[in-house]
Amino acid sequence: MIKILFVCHGNICRSPMAEYMMKDMVRYRQLEEQFYIESAGVASDNVGMEMQEGAKNKLRSVGVPYDNHRTARQMTREDYKNFDYVICMDENNRKELYNLFGGDPEKKIHLLLDFTEREEKNIPDPWFTNDFDDTYDDMLVGISGLLKALREQDGALSRETPAAAPAPRTEPGRVSAPRTEPGRAQTPRSLDKMAGCR
């Protein structure tokens, strides 16, 4: 199972949107049994708060299901151990994680837009821009690139349904039941070559 943690500053806008978008994308491709996907924040400011209304409204408008009862949490050292990939929304998130964990010894931390050909790698925080449309569009490109990189890497997603091509905005799907906590970390798969990371 591939374990992915999406991370932004407070876990109420970008990272939960990315979590539910990725879940919807892999569910539509019938790959949900091969993934465990979650999100967290680098800061404790918003712990216990619900996802921001603008984020909920955007996901609802494009038919991406989400858990209305989830609350924000802060990333922990256990998360770094348990997840294969930690995907940040901007460079500040990545720097804050380096400070928290003393760098990235296992090379798990990446920017979401590293998996695209875009020169700009930061996804602006809609908490400040109030532009959830652009945030969604940026993340859709990034998540598609991430899934493509994983698929090309080692055939780990070989059981993907061939016909499952449309973007998740047209496929609402159902909200899946909460999964169990991540188990022990597997040997991390390096995406450095595909992502153009350090």
Q: Which residues are marked as active site?
A: 8, 14, 125
Q: How many residues does the chain have?
A: 198
∠ at Cα 137 (132, 142), nearest 5°?
120
Cβ atoms within 10 Å, residue 183: 10
Q: Please name which of 164, 142, 149, 24 lies closest in space to residue 84, comparing C-alpha atoms.
A: 149
Q: What one-character DSSP code corresponds to residue 169?
A: G
Tokens 């090379």 found at = 107
From the centroid of its chain, how far is CA 30?
Answer: 18
Cβ atoms within 10 Å, residue 5: 25
From the centroid of its chain, how far is CA 87?
Answer: 6
Q: What are the beta bridge partners of residue 110?
A: 87
